[in-house]
A and B are shown apart, each in its own frame.
Chain A
């Protein structure tokens, strides 16, 4: 999973039927601080990914995005039907403790 922050939303009408009704959010990737004494805020990278959001995360909130079959499980927990997802918000973060050893 990667850590990121919700920075926006994407709307599309021309898309695969399996995407119908799915909320698409833009997430800026946050990496861990490299120096000791990280504040827990991490370092924004400017890299943006698009993920399906089933947790209704709000703009500005920090989330964890899972990839691959992990994302498909987040979108369709019982794994039934055609699932089209390679990235999904699976956790909305409350707090991150960051320490460099």
Chain B
């Protein structure tokens, strides 16, 4: 999973039937620098399906793979295999998060620029 900010919405008319009514969001994963208040999320954007109603500007947790498909099928019988053709989905809308990078790491060179 990763923490990301919703930056846009994707519309599509031609898609698999299972995706009817599923909202597609454009999200941008946070890096440590962005989390620590040193700038905006800068990674490449990812398209994630959403059934929780997240909107642009909100922070979300996005899961990949099986967890993403389970998230989109809330009424899935126990132990059943999800069948929706999706590999990334919002699994939680973030209320708040805490970040406490180790102080001794602040001197590291890999984030100097």
Contact = CB atoms under 8 A, between A and B. Distances in A.
Contact of B95 (A12, A51, A59, A83): A12
Interface stretch (B6-14, B19-27, B73-81): B73-81
Contacts of B93: 12-15
B92 interface: yes
Contacts of B30: 48
A85 B64 CA distance: 9
Contacts of B35: 7-8, 26, 48
Contact of A26 (B3, B65, B110): B3
Contacts of A43: 110
A84 B99 contact: no
What is the interface of chain A mostly: helix, strand, loop, or mixed?
A: strand
Interface size range of chain A in the complex: 35 or more
A47 B32 contact: yes
A93 interface: no
Given A12-B94, A68-B65, A49 B78 contact: no
Contacts of A21: none
Contacts of A46: 31-33, 110-111
A56 interface: no
B111 A16 contact: no
Given A5-B102, A24-B61, A45-B110, A16 B95 contact: no
Interface of B: 1-3, 29-33, 35, 52-53, 61, 63-68, 70-71, 74, 76, 78-79, 91-102, 105, 108, 110-111
Interface of A: 5, 7-19, 24, 26, 28, 43-52, 59-60, 68-69, 71-72, 80-87
5 contacts: A11-B94, A12-B94, A14-B92, A84-B70, A85-B67
